[in-house]
Amino acid sequence: MNWNNPLAKRVLDLKPSPTLAVDAKAKALKAKGEDIVNLSAGEPDFDTPDHIKEAAISAIRDGFTKYTAVAGIVELREAIGKKLKRDYKIEYSIDEIVVSTGGKQGLFNCLQAIVDPGTEVIIPVPYWVSYPAMVELSGGKPVYLKTTQENGFAIDISKLESLITKKTRAIILNSPSNPTGAVYNEETLKGVAELAINKGFYIITDDIYDEIRFDGRSPENVLSFVPEAKEHVIIANGVSKTYSMTGWRIGYLAGPQPVIKAATKIQSQSTSNPNSIAQKAALAALTGPQDCVKEMVAAFKERRKFIVERLNAIDGIRCNMPEGAFYCFPNMSSFYGKSFNGKKIEGSLELADYLLEEAKIACVPGIAFGDDEFIRFSYATDIKVIEKGLDRLESALSRLE
């Protein structure tokens, strides 16, 4: 081997998750005593509800601390099946469900299971930061489908059709979206499903924010409108966001049995079962009282209104009203080309750096999501903190010349 080149090719171009990197930087500065307003993390600020914690404590006391089935305990897969039936009106047996160490590992396993080197996965832009890296790690090629702020970041079906080739294996949908908060409508989902059925590819629907919607409607995905597409659809979801359980690391996939079997096989050779105690906690989350979800969603809704109204009141910012999740994605491009102390703001990276250094606000540059015109702010934090951040933002932007 060439000792001067000790790492595998696949990691040489791999960048660490930018969302986790900004959050880690903000937390490190805070630990050093800096007064940082952290609007970067995609993580609810609420504590995990008590009844969920109690289930985990009981699991430890009862000695539920050994390996479980690789795909997760039967009761949890049954509870996931019930949730999918309740929300999407589709039946999934326990053999069509695998529980993983977070939604992220579920998505990773899913791509490893269906993507061959040289095949293509269509990713609407803006996208969640990890999709392109996961596709590339599976040997596939991300194919980008641009959407626009003016059209509410909706998918243009004829544009999608023009990107489909013989190599297309899948499209990844994320609705409500991280980072835009946009929700796909029935017409879009029917259009994507029709193409998937006619041309033969998978729809991976990342529903991790499905219960964090502000229109009062219950969760919807492509199967709510086209149940006959079931064999083409792989659902990725988890408990991190809905139940404020980011650290517990429980997510899941539901889909055609061969895909689930393959993802489980990959899991059996990599991480084995997800944490047994966290599985019991996730079971309590899915089967216990759901008032905690309603309360958190109501708080996000109030914060959303506050942050978006304040952002749009600043000259030069244009921000759509998010329909779900807990992010807003304002267009900041009118500030590009301006300078501070002779340093030019060329794009979202420089703007995010400027805001961190001069205003002590942590946020994620739009380029991390594939669109440099924007910045992502998370409003999964206390309204007082958001207010302080916006005061600082307004003042910092007014100092650019």
Residue 252 — φ and ψ, nearest 5°?
A: -155, 160
Can residue 208 be called a binding residue for ligand PMP (CB under 6 A)?
yes
Residue 17 interacts with which of ligand GLU, ligand PMP, none, CB < 5 to 8 Å by class:
ligand GLU
Q: Which residues bind ligand GLU (CB under 6 A)?
A: 17, 19-20, 41-42, 104, 129-130, 178
DSSP string over 42-63: -S--SPPPHHHHHHHHHHHHTT
Residue type, 113: A
Instruction: Give the nearer residue to ligand PMP in terms of CB position, either 20 or 197.
Output: 20
Residue of the chain from 88, 92, 108, 128 that contacts ligand PMP (CB under 6 A): 128
Please name the residues in contact with 175: beta carbons below 8 A apart, sequence gap of 6 or more: 182, 183, 184, 205, 207, 209, 221, 324
Write each residue from 91 to 120 as x if it is in contact with ligand PMP (CB under 6 A), else as -, in one continuous string: -----------xxx----------------
Instruction: Give the nearer residue to ligand PMP in terms of CB position, either 68 or 174.
Output: 174
The token duo for 166 is: 């013989």
Long-range contacts of 86-91 (CB under 8 A, 24+ apart): 87/210, 87/218, 87/219, 87/220, 88/219, 88/220, 88/221, 88/223, 88/224, 88/235, 89/223, 89/224, 89/227, 90/223, 90/227, 90/230
Residue of the chain from 40, 48, 119, 178 that contacts ligand PMP (CB under 6 A): 178
Instruction: Give the nearer residue to ligand PMP in terms of CB position, either 15 or 344.
Output: 15
| 3-class DSSP state of 251 | strand
Residue 96 interacts with which of ligand GLU, ligand PMP, none, CB < 5 to 8 Å by class:
none
Residue 73 — φ and ψ, nearest 5°?
A: -70, 150
Residue ranges in 227-286 that form contacts with ligand PMP under rule CB under 6 A? 238, 240, 246, 251
Residue 322 interacts with which of ligand GLU, ligand PMP, none, CB < 5 to 8 Å by class:
none
Distance CA 191, CA 189 (A): 5
**Minimum separation from the CB atom of position 271 to ligand PMP (A):** 13
Residue numbers at the binding site for ligand PMP (CB under 6 A): 42, 102-104, 128, 174, 178, 206, 208, 238, 240, 246, 251
